């Protein structure tokens, strides 16, 4: 007995000691919001929690920015934190128990659709018509916002923001390797294979060792998407105005991947590199000649990946190249979604007017600019072009960097030229300067009228299948992906033709026809209401024209 | 005793296999430690293996000043210590009576508890119960619904049952009542078991994730698992980064590794102290002859 108490105290002591070592300062958190004056409405709202609020700044639901919004906004807002990566289950519980906030911020289209299907959302048409100023004006300027926010019953349920259109992924080639081996930029499958072979076998990095690959991983990570876009290999495509559902172009895509695999131009262990981390490392260490990288955030890409590559391999020179043409045509890289829906309103909101006023406040450019940049003089200064530049990185990190989710209704481009990505690079830093060059190149190469290799439209604008069909689709797509993957690595034992036949059979057995019927019906009803790539291209041209005007 | 040839081979194979298993557990952990102590650039380039590259405390420094990890750490400690204490107390109080053969309707009570292992109320109904008890946003919601793990209780019950009846009789003859019997005889004899079950509970509370996420709304009450999960998941996600300035919300890999280390160290540190109970013979020296 005595011994056991001692032992317990010891283990307790260990816990305590470790805590004691780590202790230095403890996070102080503020208390309740002050009650406002009578005329202001009281509303509640979600805010994503990403566990990124520095100690001493309070919590994500109660901090200098929530206070600022309460002081400067039209309503008293009480925030409920929703963990970013578990938002679905958190929202389910909040709604089921009747304690969901009035305004729900959610990026995930399926999650918002589910709430709509459960009749948890409030239609906003009349409210916006009667009570809104800012959002109404934005919606008049961009009718696409209205189009995207309307649900299948013809009413408007979602509000959102306008984003800049640019390519989400860039297909890079090592320009210095091309020059060294006297090669041309590949424009079709055969040339791509030949260049990849040369990059693998002719020692382009000149170290005398056989340690380079022509291309990044085939199955996982950023480069995997490249093949999908190259071949427009999607489950739902549109051809001549008609919807086509099934393993579209996957046979052709697989045949090419198999050719690459058999030529030995890709890491043989690509299947074990589950998140593409290995191929990314190879690329950043200068061992891969062609690599597609996610560049949704080009400034971030420049600061992190590009900077690392430039440090590791000072001679490396990247270029962005167009997707090579294929046996099923030529396509272009996927673009950003310019009309992004980010918020819905709870059907049980008690004070819808106050909710709309709050939405209006968040839509205002001044609000977004302040939340994103802080206060002039304290956090930023204006540079010669009149755009905010962070003046104190430490202070920015401490007070601003984590507050971005308060600006989910902020349409950055409304600010004028300062909102455009190309103004965000700090050209005095070499990797940023190079990043800006690549960003402009990517835009030049991918923003054109070739069809985008991601089917009908950006995934955020695709409809939600009914639950049982969704399950079937998930099962059948997983099975078919496995079949095609097998045919990449199996040599003569299992050919692509065999795989394609088996895949077709699987598709029919696994409910493919039902899924096809559902999508066809949706398309025949909704095709005029869905925003598609052509709409986005129009927005792009408009945005670029506005930019030129503002210069 | 001399080992036969067959036994020698058998032990040999055992040692090799177990060593391999141990290595496969330790290496990933070492890699995480190395990542947390390496320079960010080396981490991104994949140069870090089992030894830190360009050694730096930067990750830990950023973790402690740049995130609410300390607060979350103390929350985890609070949840674990109080939760384990409560759970142990109540589990013992349930297991002991059920282990006595003269306990009234003990079969019925046991079955009633086993029933809860097979059926449960589901997420939303449970949430509503907790909500109506006024426990949402307090740690009561973490402790109360799962206070007794039936499985642990059953293990404890059969352990108590299997204590030799002679000890029991001897104590009673010397004038010991039920409480005395429990505290002076049964529990001291069950130290290995108590240590094991306390560890089960402790690890369970330390790792509690879903319940914290569902029941706790106030982020200043989050524990480490929820916080670290948020950091680890803050990987690239297209939807979020259509706005370029959002990248600053990403938690770099080194800091994530540091957070994982801070999260697992306390549990690792407890094991050695409980080790001896696992090893020690169960009934060592309680009855002679």
* pLDDT tens-digit series, residues A255-268: 999 999 999 999 98
**Neighboring chain B residues of A401 at a CB cutoff of 8 Å:** 248-249
**Facing B220 at nearest CB: one of A4, A29, A337:** A29
Q: Kindly report the nearest CA distance between residue A214 and chain B, in angstroms.
A: 18
Structure tokens at B273: 């102290």
B270: pLDDT strictly greater than 90: no
Q: Which residue among A388, A414, A440 closes a domain?
A: A414
Domain shared by A199 and A315, yes or no: yes
Judge whether A10 is closer than 8 Å to chain B, CB to CB: yes
B219/A59 CB distance under 8 A: yes
Give the integer Cα–Cα distance in Å for A419 and A441.
19
**Neighboring chain A residues of B46 at a CB cutoff of 8 Å:** 277-278, 280-282, 284-285
Judge whether A78 is closer than 8 Å to chain B, CB to CB: no
Pairing of strands A103-105, A339-345: antiparallel
**Facing B230 at nearest CB: one of A23, A83, A337:** A83
Report whether A340 contacts A235 (CB < 8 A).
no
Long-range contacts formed by A206-210: CB under 8 A, 24+ apart: A206/A180
Whether pTM > 0.90 for this model: the answer is: no
Higher-confidence residue: A432 or A5? A432
Closest of A504, A501, A475, A517 to residue A236, by C-alpha: A517
Domain shared by A191 and A223, yes or no: yes
pLDDT tens string A287-297 = 999 999 988 88
Q: What is the pLDDT of residue B13?
A: 94
Mean pLDDT across A396-424 = 89
Say if A326 falls within a structural domain: yes
A27: pLDDT strictly greater than 50: no
Q: What is the pLDDT of residue B78?
A: 95
Task: Identify the band that residue B278 occupies on the pLDDT scale cut at 50, 70 and 90.
Answer: low
Chain B contact probe: residue of A297, A415, A436, A438 with most B CBs at under 10 A:
A297
Q: Kindly report the nearest CA distance between residue B116 and chain A, in angstroms.
A: 22
**Looking at chain A, which residue has its C-alpha nearest residue B273?**
A11
Chain B contact probe: residue of A13, A15, A308, A397 with most B CBs at under 10 A:
A15
Say if A174 falls within a structural domain: yes
Q: What is the pLDDT of residue A23?
A: 38
Domain shared by A328 and A343, yes or no: no
Structural domain range at position A382: 41-163+338-414
Domain shared by A143 and A181, yes or no: no
Mean pLDDT across A365-372 = 91
Say if A17 falls within a structural domain: no
Domain shared by A342 and A304, yes or no: no
A168/B123 CB distance under 8 A: no
B249/A404 CB distance under 8 A: yes
**Exposed e or buried b per residue across A471-501, where buried means at least 16 C-beta atoms within 10 angstroms of its C-beta:** ebbeebbeebeebbbebbbeeeeeebeebbe
Domain shared by A313 and A450, yes or no: yes
- Return the minimum-mean-pLDDT range out of A9-13, A198-202, A408-412, B272-276: A9-13
B284: pLDDT strictly greater than 60: no
Domain shared by A354 and A294, yes or no: no
**Neighboring chain B residues of A25 at a CB cutoff of 8 Å:** 65, 70
Q: Which residue among A361, A387, A414 closes a domain?
A: A414
Domain shared by A252 and A381, yes or no: no
A9: pLDDT strictly greater than 60: no
Say if A253 falls within a structural domain: yes
Total domains present in chain A: 2
CATH code, domain carrying A504:
3.40.190.10
B247/A299 CB distance under 8 A: yes
Judge whether A409 is closer than 8 Å to chain B, CB to CB: no
Say if A49 falls within a structural domain: yes
**Facing A27 at nearest CB: one of B68, B127, B246:** B68
Domain shared by A125 and A230, yes or no: no
Which B positions 258-277 lie with beta carbon below 8 A of chain A? 262, 265-266, 269-270, 273-274
Is B145 strand, coil or helix? coil
Which B positions 171-190 lie with beta carbon below 8 A of chain A? 184, 187-188
pLDDT tens string A438-455 = 999 999 999 998 999 999
Which A positions 103-142 lie with beta carbon below 8 A of chain B? 107-108
Q: Which residue among A414, A439, A458 closes a domain?
A: A414
Say if A18 falls within a structural domain: no
Domain shared by A183 and A305, yes or no: yes
Sign of CA dihedral B230, B233, B236, B238: negative
Task: Identify the band that residue B146 occupies on the pLDDT scale cut at 50, 70 and 90.
Answer: confident
Judge whether B38 is closer than 8 Å to chain A, CB to CB: no
* E strand map for A296-441: 318-320, 339-345, 380-382, 388-390
Judge whether B222 is closer than 8 Å to chain A, CB to CB: yes
A50/B230 CB distance under 8 A: yes
Report whether A200 contacts A214 (CB < 8 A).
yes
**Neighboring chain A residues of B129 at a CB cutoff of 8 Å:** none
> Which of A86-100, A191-205, A383-397, B43-57: highest mean pLDDT?
A191-205
Say if A353 falls within a structural domain: yes
Please state, for a pLDDT cut of 90, what percent of chain A lies above it: 62
A51: pLDDT strictly greater than 90: no
Domain shared by A236 and A374, yes or no: no
Domain shared by A242 and A310, yes or no: yes
What is the pLDDT of chain A when averaged over all its residues? 88
Structure tokens at A279: 């191929």
Q: What is the pLDDT of residue A502?
A: 94
**Facing B77 at nearest CB: one of A19, A27, A55:** A19
Give the integer Cα–Cα distance in Å for B132 and A97.
10
Say if A26 falls within a structural domain: no
Q: A405: which DSSP letter?
A: G
A100: pLDDT strictly greater than 50: yes
A312/B228 CB distance under 8 A: no
């Amino acid at each position: 007995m005595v011994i056991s108490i001692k032992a317990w105290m010891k283990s307790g002591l260990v816990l305590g000691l470790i805590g004691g070592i780590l202790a230095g300062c403890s996070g102080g958190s503020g208390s309740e919001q002050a009650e406002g004056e009578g005329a202001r409405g009281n509303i509640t709202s979600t805010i994503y929690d990403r566990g990124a609020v520095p100690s001493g700044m309070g919590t994500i639901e109660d901090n200098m920015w929530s206070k600022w919004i309460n002081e400067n906004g039209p309503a008293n807002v009480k925030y409920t934190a929703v963990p970013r990566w578990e938002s679905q289950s958190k929202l389910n519980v909040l709604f089921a128990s009747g304690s969901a906030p009035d305004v729900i911020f959610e990026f995930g289209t399926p999650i918002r659709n589910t709430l709509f299907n459960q009749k948890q959302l409030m239609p906003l048409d009349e409210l916006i018509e009667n009570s809104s100023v800012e959002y109404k004006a934005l919606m008049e300027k961009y009718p696409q916002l209205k189009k995207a926010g309307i649900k299948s019953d013809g009413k408007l349920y979602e509000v959102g923001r306008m984003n800049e259109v640019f390519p989400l992924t860039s297909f890079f080639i090592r320009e210095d390797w091309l020059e060294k081996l006297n090669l041309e930029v590949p424009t079709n499958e055969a040339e791509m294979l030949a260049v990849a072979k040369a990059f693998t076998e002719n020692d382009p990095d000149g170290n005398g060792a056989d340690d380079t690959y022509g291309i990044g991983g085939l199955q996982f990570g950023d480069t995997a998407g490249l093949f999908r876009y190259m071949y427009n290999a999607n489950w739902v495509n549109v051809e001549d105005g008609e919807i086509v559902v099934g393993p579209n172009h996957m046979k052709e895509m697989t045949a090419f991947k198999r050719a690459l695999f058999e030529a030995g131009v890709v890491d043989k262990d690509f299947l074990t590199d589950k998140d593409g981390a290995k191929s990314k490392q190879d690329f950043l260490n200068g061992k891969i000649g062609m690599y597609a990288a996610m560049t949704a955030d080009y400034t971030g890409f420049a600061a992190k990946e590009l900077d690392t590559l430039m440090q590791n391999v000072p001679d490396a020179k990247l270029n962005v190249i167009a997707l090579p043409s294929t046996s099923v045509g030529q396509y272009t890289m996927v673009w950003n979604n310019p009309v992004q829906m980010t918020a819905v309103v709870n059907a049980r909101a008690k004070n819808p007017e106050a909710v709309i006023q709050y939405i209006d406040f968040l839509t205002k450019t001044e609000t977004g600019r302040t939340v994103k940049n802080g206060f002039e003089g304290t956090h930023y200064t204006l540079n010669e072009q009149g755009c905010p530049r962070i003046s104190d990185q430490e202070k920015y990190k401490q007070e601003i960097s984590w507050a971005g989710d308060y600006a989910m209704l902020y349409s950055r481009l409304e600010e004028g030229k300062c909102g455009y990505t190309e103004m965000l690079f700090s050209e005095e830093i070499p990797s940023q300067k190079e990043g800006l060059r690549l960003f402009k190149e990517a835009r030049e190469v991918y923003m054109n009228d070739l069809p985008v290799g991601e089917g009908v439209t950006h995934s955020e604008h695709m409809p939600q299948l009914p639950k049982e069909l969704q399950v079937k689709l998930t099962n059948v797509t997983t099975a078919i992906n496995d079949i095609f993957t097998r045919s990449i690595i199996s040599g003569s034992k299992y050919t692509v033709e065999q795989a394609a036949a088996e895949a077709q059979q699987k598709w029919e057995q696994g409910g493919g026809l039902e899924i096809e019927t559902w999508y066809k019906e949706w398309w025949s009803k909704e095709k005029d209401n869905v925003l598609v790539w052509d709409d986005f291209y129009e927005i792009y041209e408009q945005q670029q024209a506005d930019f030129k005007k503002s210069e | 005793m001399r080992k036969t040839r067959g036994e020698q081979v058998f032990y040999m194979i055992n040692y090799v296999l177990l060593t391999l298993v141990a290595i496969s557990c330790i290496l990933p952990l070492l890699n995480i430690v190395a990542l947390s102590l390496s320079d960010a650039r080396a981490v991104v380039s994949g140069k870090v293996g089992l030894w830190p590259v360009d050694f730096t405390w930067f990750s830990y420094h950023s973790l402690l000043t740049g995130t609410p990890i300390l607060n979350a750490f103390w929350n985890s400690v609070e949840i674990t210590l109080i939760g384990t204490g409560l759970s142990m107390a109540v589990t013992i109080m349930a297991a002991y009576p059920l282990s006595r053969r003269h306990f009234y309707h003990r079969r019925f009570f046991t079955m009633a508890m086993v029933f809860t292992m097979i059926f449960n109320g589901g997420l939303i109904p449970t949430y509503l119960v907790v909500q109506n008890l006024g426990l949402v946003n307090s740690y009561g919601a973490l402790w109360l619904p799962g206070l007794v793990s039936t499985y642990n209780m059953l293990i404890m019950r059969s352990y108590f049952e299997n204590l030799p009846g002679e000890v029991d009789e001897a104590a009673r003859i010397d004038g010991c009542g039920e409480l005395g019997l429990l505290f002076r005889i049964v529990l001291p004899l069950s130290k290995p078991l108590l240590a094991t079950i306390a560890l089960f509970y402790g690890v369970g509370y330390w790792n509690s994730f879903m319940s914290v996420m569902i029941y706790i709304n106030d982020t200043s009450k989050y524990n480490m698992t929820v916080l670290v999960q948020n950091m680890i998941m803050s990987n690239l996600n297209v939807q979020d980064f259509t706005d370029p300035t959002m990248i600053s919300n990403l938690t770099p890999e080194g800091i994530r590794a540091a957070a994982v280390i801070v999260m697992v160290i306390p549990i690792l540190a407890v094991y050695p102290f409980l080790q001896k109970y696992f090893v020690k013979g169960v009934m060592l020296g309680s009855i002679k002859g």
